Structure 1
Amino acid sequence: MDIVAPARGEDPTSALVATGREWWRNAVIYQIYPRSFADASGDGIGDLRGITARLPSLVELGVDAIWLSPFFVSPQRDAGYDVADYCDVDPLFGTLDDFDALEDAAHALGLKIIVDLVPNHTSSDHAWFRAALDAAEGSVERARYMFRDGTGEGGELPPNNWESVFGGPAWTRTTNTDGTPGQWYLHLFDSTQPDLDWENPWVRDQFRDILRFWLDRGVDGFRVDVAHGMIKEAGLPDYTAPADSGSMGGGAVGLEPEIGTHLDAPTPPYWAQDGVHEIYRDWRQVLDEYDGNRVMVAEAWVEPLSKLARWVRPDEMHQAFNFSYLETSWAGPAIRRVVDGSLDAFTSVGAPSTWVLSNHDVVRHATRLALTADNPQGHGIGPKSPGQPIPELGLRRARAASALMLALPGSAYLYQGEELGLPEVIDLPDRSREDPTWFRTNGERYGRDGCRVPIPWEADAASYGFSTSGKSWLPQPADWAPVSRDAQLGVTGSTLELYRLALALRHEHDLGFGAIEWLPGYGENVVAFRNGSVTVIANTSDVPVELPVGRVLLSSADLHGSALAPDQTVWMRS
């Protein structure tokens, strides 16, 4: 069987198209975690100039857009998801001029730019929160956040029993200027990330201005962090999560077990409240003032998918991350169910489905798919975790799963380094860890550092070419030379070349605008479908499967004869 590569066509983002074929409906969007992508300054932390220098490699990969995790001014206690100024660049990453240069370069190359917006909370260093702490109880400054009196005889107990996503109570008590105990403030994440009060019109006004600041600079859209948060149930009632629901929720993947794995559990009073939709309808009107099909993407941990579809109704957001798909096991029946459910739910409101396997909050799928024990989302994995992965199995399944995902209609998200087959870094020294989860749980959960290690570009360079100085803010594995980008580029069978071929074929055959037709006769543990002119067969069973007659366009692993091995995916034309 011959494996045939397509000719490269024009970049699909080069021109706007009619309604129903907007660029975001079939885009492949590449997530950049700035501190771990490329470092031009030499301080060991990635930056905007480093990203700009590496943009040609993303064009060569074949993606349509990039999503930048936060680069705003921040004390970096939660890697930039604790914002101190929404309208400026943190000096760690560069300047506004650097951002403008990055955006200009990306647009010149045909790449769209999506920036990360964090509206549920600010940093405790933000001027708004500092003013609130300095102001009196009941002041307009305090009304911008969730300040409340405590309970108990002297207010010594928190206002309710809510738990933080990162572990521990979701309330911290303030100290008055005279040294006496004061009110409590809500922080669903770290204590340095106080929640804003989105019932306050002033807060809504500020964020309209923030949206316009970046839209005026030319960004193509926003990824909205914790898009199922912001509004809390009136009265802030107590809530206890199901005992077996895991540990995390909300902004980091798996941080909301009640809305991720327990479909019959009640909706927590701090997630997925109906009032959030009013906010996004308002924001949609702002985006619609601008040309160029500007988009909003929801990071909303909401199940079932039929409920998540409410976030992408025609007058709200354009896309929502499909975490149900990310969390699905590598098993034929489960994959078919989630694909059908996704297409049904999103199509019902006129939105494209999205597909994603990895991001900055989850164990990389080259490791996750080969864990030998349960690993609750948000816990991460380290050297003492149960269920250590089988590396060879993980990479094989990751390649097969990625090949399957990139053949599905809709929009797909890639996380930096997955195109290299990078695994989760398990053996990070404890002294190097920075995730708040690690510290707030006293080392009981490893958190997300393992998927955030700077990626390797050059096999023979210091820090694998990540930094001009050879520094790296998290230590890189000593055995990453073979998976570096330059070691894989042009090498037949490498993971990088698999991704490049898949993205080229996806564009050539217009798979993002296609439709699924399931193919019978392969058994329940084989996922077989036709999308347009391409037949896709993924074997999740433990036995080989006979392939039909046809020309092989792509295979996630070497083919031996006419049999598809376990944990292998092919694309074919009959």
Structure 2
Amino acid sequence: MTTVAPSPHARVLSDAPDWWRQAVVYQVYPRSFADTNGDGLGDIPGITSRVPYLAELGVDAVWLSPFYPSDLADGGYDVADYRDVDPRLGTLADMDELIAQLHAHGIRVVVDIVPNHTSDKHAWFQEALEAGRGSAARERYIFREGTGPDGAEPPTDWVSVFGGAGWERVADGQWYFHNFDVSQPDLNWANPEVRADFVKTLRFWSDRGVDGFRIDVAHMLTKDLTEPLPSRAELEAMPIDGTHPLLDRDDVHEVYAEWRAVFNEYDPPRTAVAEAWVHPSRVPLYASAESLGQSFNFDLLEADFDAGQFRRIVADNLALAAESGSSTTWVLSNHDVVRHATRYGLPDAERGADGRPTLKHGNEWLLSGGRTPALDAERGERRARAAALFVLGLPGSAYLYQGEELGLHEVADIPDAERQDPTFFRSPGVDMGRDGCRVPLPWAASDAAFGFGAGGAHLPQPEWFARYAVDLQDQDPASTLALYRRALGLRHELQADEELSWVDAGSEGVVAFERPGGWVVVTNFGESAAPLPDGEILVSSRELDGGALPGETTVWLRRS
């Protein structure tokens, strides 16, 4: 068991039921955070060993991506047992210690729940394979007979999110549906046994002290598989308005109403946040107090560093939060997208008529191994620092992805033989996958694996990681790490209500808003300097020169 010395940065754990509304939540991807046993995989004791670092950073909660037993066919999102810890990562006792240490430092704990599918190694799926057609075990999943001669063709021409067919045939000739990797069979949420088992899982972790849950692909659980099944073309032509056979169905909220009742049994109530890629008009359904209570806002993951886009996104999402009574969320990076320091150093995304990127932003650069288009790394980091201060000044929850506080860039040139993401293997030459943002963190510039662990790292770390190492940034008051620590400390000191009023900055490309108590956030999205409003400067994303606000810079001010 990892022993952690008390940290001078520890805070008292808040017992406020609404602690989540303006929390700063730090996402840990466990296998890439810190490794204590030298096997190349990050582990639970590794996270525990870094709790003082998280406390000094100043976060309110830690969200743990999956740490459950898994074959790692999809980075841990292929779960073989929802109520245990992968033995390569630790034990339930290790998890209990991590929760205790985080709580002792005033940090709450959010864990990932992956309810759309299990691993094909899950005991239920193995039982389904053994039990055969018509069995109760197969009714927990989505099995169908094939079409064509001898049922040798899949039931439909549906495709997986990761590329390739969405159906896989088993030994006795039936087919099962998998929205994601072939090793991730979809569960049948019309089955009461499935629903009851997830309630059991929620109580299992809540009883162990977990404070909240991030719900993976929350919009995909329930399905209408009434025969005849539609074709792929028919599916794509259907509106996604609550009645689609596979996506964002109204009846999924019957599941979440049951979960909400469970969450409310605890004091304070357990929280939940939906990963729901849905039309904005549908977001309040997931964020309502009767459902999960909060939903991710992913708009900034697709935005350029642009004043008009950022202001519109803020206004739209604050309005959606008001509609549901929840608080909104702000996310610049996570384990599924190109890191924002890199996105902001590349040309702006090409956009369709709806304003959405026509391609995954940064994928062209990844396909080239990071050679074209040219990356302006310094500009990307400058913009990333400005965007971080902008977001941390907003009302609502801010979600940080491990390494962004170091200014880390995406790793593009991972050899094909060392890649792990199923997206890469199922769509060769089309999508390079998500390995580049999942490379293990650099803790010490001169140590083996940059201090991640004595046994190397499960994904290759480039040499340039050294200059982003924590031990170097600890000594530099101008580092990105120092900026995040300063901003998070100020955010706690200012403790503003969830209000925002726009301020006329008087310059094109400059966006400014004021929070209660005279706290003003000003961001210059342009390249040229602009006038700096009057006020006491609290923190700036880059060094200021006199009374001007440099381009691609954010400043926090306090008006007297």
Q: Which runs of 4+ in 1 moved over 4 A?
A: 8-13, 263-268, 377-380
Question: 1:55/1:542 Cα in 2 relative to 1: closer, same or farther (>3 Å)?
Answer: same
2:65 — aligned with what?
69
Deviation for aligned residue 1:420 = 0.3
Contact 1:373/1:387 (<8 A) preserved: no
Deviations 1:128-186 (A, max 9, x none): 0111111221211111001011223432222222210110111111121xxxxx11110
Return 5+ residue gaps in structure 2 as ranges: 1-6, 350-358
Question: 1:9/1:73 Cα in 2 relative to 1: closer, same or farther (>3 Å)?
Answer: closer
The 5 Å alignment of 1:462-473 reads: 462-467=448-453, 469-473=454-458
Matches of 1:209 and 1:548, distance apart in 2 = 54
2:466 — aligned with what?
481
Question: 1:66/1:286 Cα in 2 relative to 1: closer, same or farther (>3 Å)?
Answer: same
2:37 pairs with 1:45: no
2:509 pairs with 1:525: yes
Deviations 1:273-325 (A, max 9, x none): 11111111100101111112311111111122x31111011111122111123
1:196 — aligned with what?
187
Q: Number of aligned pairs?
A: 539
Contact 1:534/1:571 (<8 A) preserved: yes
Q: Secondary structure at the match of 2:318?
A: helix
Deviation for aligned residue 1:458 = 1.0
Deviations 1:212-237 (A, max 9, x none): 11111111111111111111234342
2:15 — aligned with what?
16
2:478 pairs with 1:502: no
For 1:199, the aligned partner's letter is A
* Range 564-573 or range 410-419, more displaced: 564-573
Matches of 1:371 and 1:485, distance apart in 2 = 25
Matches of 1:9 and 1:52, distance apart in 2 = 16
Matches of 2:65 and 2:374, distance apart in 1 = 29
Deviations 1:105-142 (A, max 9, x none): 11111111111111100000111011111122121111
Matches of 1:152 and 1:337, distance apart in 2 = 51
For 2:535, the aligned partner's letter is G
Matches of 1:422 and 1:89, distance apart in 2 = 28
Matches of 1:347 and 1:546, distance apart in 2 = 33
Deviations 1:85-105 (A, max 9, x none): 111111110111111111111
1:534 — aligned with what?
519
Matches of 2:272 and 2:203, distance apart in 1 = 13
Question: 1:549/1:377 Cα in 2 relative to 1: closer, same or farther (>3 Å)?
Answer: closer
TM-score w.r.t. structure 1 length?
A: 0.90
2:397 pairs with 1:411: yes
For 1:515, the aligned partner's letter is E
Find 1:436's aligned residue among 422, 428, 440: 422
For 2:422, the aligned partner's letter is P
Deviation for aligned residue 1:373 = 6.0
Matches of 1:186 and 1:33, distance apart in 2 = 27
2:233 pairs with 1:240: yes
Matches of 1:155 and 1:378, distance apart in 2 = 41
The 5 Å alignment of 1:175-254 reads: 175-176=171-172, 182-235=173-226, 236-240=229-233
For 1:559, the aligned partner's letter is L
2:121 — aligned with what?
125
Deviation for aligned residue 1:542 = 2.5
For 1:434, the aligned partner's letter is Q
Return 5+ residue gaps in structure 1 as ranges: 1-7, 177-181, 244-257
Q: Secondary structure at the match of 1:140?
A: coil
Deviation for aligned residue 1:522 = 2.7
TM-score w.r.t. structure 2 length?
A: 0.92
Q: Secondary structure at the match of 2:324?
A: coil
Question: 1:240/1:391 Cα in 2 relative to 1: closer, same or farther (>3 Å)?
Answer: farther
The 5 Å alignment of 1:10-409 reads: 14-17=13-16, 22-176=18-172, 182-235=173-226, 236-240=229-233, 269-304=245-280, 306-372=281-347, 374=349, 375-376=359-360, 379=363, 381-384=366-369, 386-409=372-395
RMSD of aligned alpha carbons: 2.3
1:514 — aligned with what?
498
Deviation for aligned residue 1:490 = 4.3
For 2:503, the aligned partner's letter is L
Find 1:458's aligned residue among 441, 444, 452: 444
Deviation for aligned residue 1:524 = 4.4
Contact 2:13/2:104 (<8 A) preserved: no
Contact 1:539/1:567 (<8 A) preserved: yes
* Range 368-377 or range 402-411, more displaced: 368-377
Deviation for aligned residue 1:242 = 10
- Percent of aligned pairs sharing the same letter: 50
* Range 381-390 or range 327-336, more displaced: 381-390
Contact 2:32/2:439 (<8 A) preserved: yes
Contact 1:529/1:535 (<8 A) preserved: yes
